[in-house]
Amino acid sequence: MDAQSPVIRRYGTAASQEAAALIRAGGIVAVPTETVYGLAADACDSAAVARIYAAKGRPAFNPLIVHVRDLAAAERIAVFDDDARALAARFWPGPLTLVLPLREGAGIARLVTAGLPTIAIRVPAHRAMQDLLTQSGAPLAAPSANASNGISPTRAEHVAASLGAAVPLILDDGATAAGVESTIVAGRTILRPGPVTAEMLEEVLPVAAGTTAQVSAPGQMATHYAPRKPLRLGALVREGDEWLIGFGAVAGDDTLSADGDVVEAAARLFDALHRGDASDRTTIAVAGVPHVGVGVAINDRLRRAAHR
For Mg ion, the binding residues (CB under 5 A) are: 144
Q: Near ligand TXA by CB under 6 A, which window of 74-82, 110-118, 199-207, 232-240?
A: 110-118
- Report the partner that residue 135 touches, choosing among ligand TXA, Mg ion, none (CB closer than 5 to 8 A by kind): none
- 113 binds ligand TXA, rule: CB under 6 A: yes
Q: Does 219 bind ligand TXA (CB under 6 A)?
A: yes
Q: Is 160 near ligand TXA (CB under 6 A)?
A: no
Determine, following the binding rule CB under 6 A, whether residue 116 of this chain makes contact with ligand TXA.
Answer: yes
User: Does residue 139 belong to the site contacting ligand TXA (CB under 6 A)?
Assistant: no
DSSP for 108-156 reads --HHHHTT-SEEEEE----HHHHHHHHHH-S-EE--BSSSTTSPPPSSH
Q: Is 75 exposed, middle or buried (0-12, 13-18, 19+ CB in 10 A)?
A: middle
182 lines the binding site for ligand TXA (CB under 6 A):
yes
Residues 6+ apart with CB under 8 A from 19: 9, 29, 31, 132, 135, 136, 169, 171
93 near ligand TXA (CB under 6 A): no
Please state the closest distance from residue 192 (CB atom) to ligand TXA, in A.
6
Please tell me the distance from the alpha carbon of residue 187 to that of residue 170, in angstroms, as a whole number: 34
By CB under 6 A, what part of segment 64-83 binds ligand TXA? 64-65
CB closer to Mg ion out of 119 and 285: 119
Helix (H) or strand (E) segment spanning residue 89: helix 82-91
Instruction: State the nearest-atom distance from the C-beta of 37 to ligand TXA, in Å.
Output: 7
Q: Judging by beta carbons within 10 Å of its beta carbon (0-12, 13-18, 19+), is residue 156 exposed, middle or buried? A: buried
In the bound complex, what is the minimum distance in angstroms from residue 160's beta carbon to ligand TXA?
A: 16
Candidate segments 2-10, 156-164, 177-185, 280-288, binder of ligand TXA by CB under 6 A: 177-185
Give the β-pairing of 65-67 and 118-122.
parallel
Asked if 138 touches ligand TXA (CB under 6 A), the answer is no
Helix or strand or coil: residue 24? helix
Question: What is the rounded distance in angstroms from the CA atom of residue 196 to the CA atom of residue 294?
Answer: 7
Least Cα distance to 107 among 80, 68, 81, 143 occurs for 68
Shortest Å, Cβ 70 to ligand TXA:
16
Tell which one of 12, 101, 164, 218 touches ligand TXA (CB under 6 A). 218
Between 27 and 38, name the residue whose CB sits nearer to ligand TXA: 38
- Can you tell me which of 16, 35, 211, 255 binds ligand TXA, judged by CB under 6 A? 35
H/E segment holding residue 303: helix 295-306
Task: Examine residue 93 and say whether the peptide bond preceding it is cis (omega within 30 degrees of 0).
Answer: yes
Binding interface with ligand TXA (CB under 6 A): 33, 35-36, 38, 62-65, 95, 97, 99, 113, 116, 118-120, 142-144, 181-182, 184, 191, 215, 217-219
